[in-house]
Amino acid sequence: MHVKDPTRAPRRVVISGIGAITPYGIGHEALWSGLKSGRSAVRTLDRFDPSPFRTHVAAQVNDFVPADHLEAKRARRLDRFGHFAVVAALYAAADSGLEVAREDRSRIGAMMGSALGGIGYAEVQFARYLSEGVKSVDPLLALTVFAGSASCNVAIEFGISGPNSTNAMSCASGTMAIGEAMREIRAGRADVMFAGGVEAPLFPLCFGSFSLIRAMSTRNLAPERASRPFDAARDGFVMAEGAVVLVLEERARAVARGAPIYGELVGYGTTSDGSHMTAPRQDGREAARAMRLALEDAHLAPHEVDYVNAHASSTPLNDPAETLAIRAALGGIASIVPVSGTKGHHGHALGATGAWEIAISALALNRSWIPPTLNLELRDDACDLACVTGEGEERAMDVAISNSFGFGGINASIVLRREEWRC
């Protein structure tokens, strides 16, 4: 029985594995190479005909064949959402060198985040129901459509029985999953957690619903330039799909087994605007408070932050509000601390993107390079931060903060610290 000793120092939590499925390819090195290339992964959407909608661009995961990564029977029993979650977790475990079968699996859990879950597959099955009748519908639909299937399928894949949940808090989901998983390890309820975000929204109705509310860019003739964080000509986000799953682990345990360590998670904060379903508070007050709570949790002062990976969704309302939030949270250093918004590279995968950006932040600390803010060409006076552009910036850093803000006014921030025991 594991009993928390109040006299002991708090348990430290590190990232010891990264599994990534993004529009740049499979594996975190493909994601990193895509960032280093300076080329956007956004293209004209060809998964289906987007012509009925205002927006025709997206960041797709191409050349992903489930049977290349899963046994055929297992692959058949999952939808695209499930494939992404399980395969990303398998890559994370392999990257970490974690042999789950040899571990106490009651001490390993899974926490995931997703805005839409398997709703895209439900859309496909409903179309089949209308055209061919109820007998044509996949009998496993009920097991794939709910968001909780992400963490449940990860748990089933590894046979783990520790803490398990999937939250659906919009674009903050992945970040919140990682933050809550960190808390489970800190509290002694788990030693290892699979944590991250997954999204498979590139289906006509899912995609079109965001087009209907005019949230997405209509820069259809120049897809690679459509996502423009902090740029004066930004006109909306670009939808993406994929997953990132991290292996989070109690630090001493990870060091003892010689695991790669990409960075330490040291702080987490979350708040709610409580004001509007789609528009953030324009003063950035609650987003700033989430950042401050994360820093307080990390026992760090604002001046100790070396890098901010911004949510930077490329929407007209979000980017100025986040600018004010960063300024309010960091005070005087906000004018000089390097900031980047990476969605110009990989698009916005809703609930998965926060996990992507935490992985990117950890790699940035680990490899001493800040990704540029792609397509930032005409600076907006309302977004007057020290945004990194061009080819990125080589810089030694110790502390980064990664922000995620979602529909409904959900705000989440994670603070990471460079780890001396590096991969």
Q: Which residues are catalytic?
A: 171, 311, 348
DSSP for 330-365, please give it.
HGGGGGTSEEE-THHHH-B-GGGHHHHHHHHHHHHH
CA nearest to 286, candidates 197, 181, 408: 408
d(CA 396, CA 418): 10
Contacting residues for 409 by C-beta, under 8 A, at least 6 apart: 272, 273, 274, 275, 276, 277, 280, 281, 286
- Give the HSE-up count for residue 386: Cα atoms under 13 Å, Cβ half-sphere: 14
Beta strands in 12-54 (DSSP E): 13-22, 25-26, 43-44
Tokens of 395: 């810089």
Nearest to 408 by CA among 55, 115, 54: 115
Question: Following CA atoms 135, 137, 138, 140 in sequence, which dihedral angle do they give, to the nearest 10 degrees?
Answer: -90
143 to each of 78, 140, 154, how far by Cα in Å? 9, 5, 14
Helices (H) and strands (E) in the chain, counts: 13, 16
Contact 359, 404 (CB under 8 A): no
293-316 per-residue burial string, b: 16 or more CB within 10 A, e: under 16: bbbebbebebeebbbbbbbbbbbe
- Residue of 416, 421, 348 whose CA lies nearest to 178: 416
Contact status, residue 365 vs residue 307, Cβ threshold 8 Å: yes
Name the token pair of 100.
């789950």
